[in-house]
Amino acid sequence: MNKHQPLVDEAALRNTIHQLNLDDLQKDRLINRWLHYVVWWDARARASKWKHHTLRSIVVAGGAAIPALVSVHVSEPERAANLHIVTVVLSLLVAISAGLEGLFGFGEIWREKRAAAEILKVQGWRFFQLIKPFAGMTHTQAYPDFADAVETMIEHEVKDYLVAVQGDVPSPNSAIPAAVSKAVIDTEGASTQG
């Protein structure tokens, strides 16, 4: 039987990190920052995919069944009443499922978080294997560039999320908590100065 392989194997990634020629603090940061986000975004993607497919399946199956149920002619009053109740309940399920998908956008979250997890994971494998852009360096030499690339990716993902939720890039006067806005602004300033 073909067992489904996960896209993110946390134990295998931890093992790979522990085999790198890095000091314990750098390994700890890799696990607590890079691996944490890879696992978190993978979990969000998987949960959102399940919710999206479940809600869309209800809409598709119910949407196909409702016209058939409405067109059925039943002469017996009790059966006609039961059929009417089933049709109304199914119509409500379809409407609620479509509304929840529209409100929460699970399909979009699934695609966005899957892409974020995969891009971050690819960057990690580039670092582990010391291939472009880390070619010709040791893990110790490449670590600062890798950490900077990871933080940049996380920053962009957070900004994209804030734009989606708020509708605009964060500003100091926005409704976003001041500490979050300040952190984003400080990182932008530091990256242009360095």
Q: φ, ψ for residue 45 (rounded to 5)?
A: -65, -45
Residues 74-101 pLDDT 10s: 999 999 999 999 999 999 999 999 999 9
Contact 120, 128 (CB under 8 A): no
Residues 9-23 pLDDT 10s: 899 999 999 999 999
User: What are the domain boundaries of the chain?
Assistant: 21-193
DSSP, collapsed to helix, strand or coil, labels residue 188 as helix
Report the C-alpha gap between 119 and 157 in whole angstroms: 11
Q: φ, ψ for residue 112 (rounded to 5)?
A: -65, -45
**Quick one: tokens of 79?**
């059966």
Q: How many CB atoms lie within 10 A of CB 66?
A: 17
What pTM was estimated for this model as a whole? 0.75
Report the C-alpha gap between 104 and 22 in whole angstroms: 41
Q: How many CA atoms lie within 13 A of 36 on its CB side?
A: 10
The pLDDT-based confidence of 168 (bands split at 50, 70, 90) is low
Residues 26-68 pLDDT 10s: 999 999 999 999 999 999 999 999 999 999 999 999 999 999 9
Residues 106-141 pLDDT 10s: 999 999 999 999 999 999 999 999 999 999 999 999
Residues 132-164 pLDDT 10s: 999 999 999 999 999 999 999 999 988 887 777
Contact 62, 87 (CB under 8 A): no
